């Protein structure tokens, strides 16, 4: 074993074992968050096909005889992969061995599927009473619509998010990323950490449940209280804030910028900077500006028409007005500020070699000397069954074959979201 002069951080969850039975995005995203924090995450996949996202493309990259889906890369860094047929004796035996050692298991099967495989929550807690089980579904685990299949865009519509997004009430739009999946994974990871913390006091595991529906309702924020408290029905209104003005995207000469004038002090500074009469009756308070939004937009774009985007952003910044541009993703990943925050990482992939990935969004620092303790050693998303033999050897079991099982795999369509 080599000894470095400066020990490398292992992450706050070093020593924890997570068994990831989930597929697609919600559960795998939760598992990746835990892996980013240093947990050992072993991903269980169907033999032959693996996680559905291995086939979601284009884009695919790599050799024609072994194409790699970039979608899979987005939610499986820092994990190991073993292919198990959970309908076979071998697959069930290995899963039981893993559950005995695990701290967390993540699953997004439809309600009842794990029960039929012999791994209900009660079964898993009989194997390991300290196990924390994270279970994610589409519409919730109970209630009249619990057995509906839940996919991200379906839930964006059903949970009201699309009614708030778009150029207007007649133009509902999905968010440009699978936000229901991502948020349910984030809520799931958050709940898992809370359950692990409680386990420190009680010694007992528990079940953490969330859903795509719950995650989206959970982020309705002020739009939700507009509905429940004020009795309003919020609607999409494009790139302008429903309760603050001016706040949104505004056109200038040959382009556009975004501004956020979120206080009366900022409004007066903004008005002075651009020669606008801040005390006009229709502009005299935020409530008046919201009521007269079209006039505000017209006035702001009138003065912005004298500027191109970069000089305008410089002027706004000098005046202390929060402002920014709309970047494309290639611009984002080339941005030095993104790199400074560790949001771009390089990993070594077995097929592709060096690969650049989006990085983890959390950083950690020592309170003693403010030295960064963030986990820096990242691994590429695994090939299917890349770690199968290693996991079996770690468990003390002889491998049955090179693929981790050859009998028919559990029906992928039975898995929920």
Output the DSSP codes for 231-245.
Answer: -------TTB-SSSS
Angle at 162 between CA 161 and CA 166, to 5 degrees: 120
Prior bond of 59 cis (ω within 30°): yes
Q: Decide the pairing of beta strands 132-137 and 207-211.
A: parallel
* Cβ(346)–Cβ(46) below 8 Å: no
**Rounded CA gap, 262 and 256, in Å?**
19
What is the DSSP secondary structure assignment for residue 167, as one 8-state letter? S
Catalytic residue, from 66, 181, 279, 346: name it.
181
CB atoms within 10 A of CB 360: 21
CB atoms within 10 A of CB 193: 18
**Rounded CA gap, 157 and 162, in Å?**
5
* 181 carries an active-site annotation: yes
**Rounded CA gap, 262 and 333, in Å?**
28
Output the DSSP codes for 245-309.
Answer: SSEEEEEEBTEEEEEE--SHHHHHHHHHHHT--TTSGGGSSHHHHHHTHHHHHHHHHHHHTTSBH
Nearest to 86 by CA among 19, 181, 185, 184: 19
* Cβ(175)–Cβ(198) below 8 Å: no
**Rounded CA gap, 37 and 11, in Å?**
5
* Cβ(91)–Cβ(83) below 8 Å: no
**What amino acid positions are annotated as catalytic residues?**
181
């Amino acid at each position: 074993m080599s000894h470095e002069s400066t020990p490398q951080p292992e992450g706050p969850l070093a020593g924890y074992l997570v068994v990831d039975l989930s597929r697609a995005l919600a559960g795998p995203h939760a598992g990746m968050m835990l892996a980013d924090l240093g947990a050992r995450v072993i991903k269980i996949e169907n033999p032959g096909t693996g996680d559905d996202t291995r086939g979601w493309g284009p884009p695919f990259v790599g050799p024609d005889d072994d194409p790699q889906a970039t979608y899979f890369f987005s939610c499986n860094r820092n994990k190991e992969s073993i292919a198990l047929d959970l309908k076979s004796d071998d697959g069930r035996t290995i899963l039981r061995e893993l559950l005995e050692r695990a701290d967390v298991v993540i699953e997004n099967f439809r309600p009842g599927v794990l029960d039929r495989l012999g791994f209900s929550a009660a079964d898993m807690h009989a194997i390991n009473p300290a196990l924390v089980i994270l279970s994610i579904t589409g519409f919730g685990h109970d209630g009249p619509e619990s057995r509906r299949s839940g996919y991200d865009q379906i839930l964006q519509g059903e949970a009201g998010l699309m009614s708030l997004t778009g150029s207007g009430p007649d133009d509902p739009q999905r968010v440009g990323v699978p936000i229901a999946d991502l948020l349910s994974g984030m809520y799931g990871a958050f709940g898992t950490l809370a359950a692990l913390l409680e386990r420190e006091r009680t010694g007992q595991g528990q079940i953490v449940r969330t859903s795509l529906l719950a995650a989206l309702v959970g982020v309705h924020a002020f739009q939700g209280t507009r509905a429940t408290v004020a009795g309003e029905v919020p609607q999409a209104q494009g790139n302008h804030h429903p309760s603050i003005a001016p706040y949104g995207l505004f056109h200038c000469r040959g382009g556009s910028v975004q501004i956020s004038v979120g206080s009366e002090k900022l409004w007066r500074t903004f008005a002075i900077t651009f020669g606008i009469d801040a005390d006009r009756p229709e502009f005299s308070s935020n409530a008046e500006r919201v009521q007269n939004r079209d006039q505000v937009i017209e006035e702001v774009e009138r003065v912005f028409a004298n500027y191109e985007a970069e000089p305008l952003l410089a002027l706004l910044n000098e005046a202390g007005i929060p402002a920014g541009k709309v970047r494309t993703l290639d611009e984002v990943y080339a941005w030095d500020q993104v790199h400074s925050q560790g949001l771009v990482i390089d990993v070594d992939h077995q097929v592709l070699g060096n690969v650049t990935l989006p990085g983890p969004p959390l950083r950690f620092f020592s309170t003693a000397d403010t030295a960064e303790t963030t986990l820096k050693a990242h691994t590429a998303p695994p090939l299917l069954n890349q770690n199968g033999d290693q996991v079996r050897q770690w468990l003390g079991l002889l491998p049955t074959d090179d693929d981790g099982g050859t009998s028919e795999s559990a029906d992928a369509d039975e898995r929920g979201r």
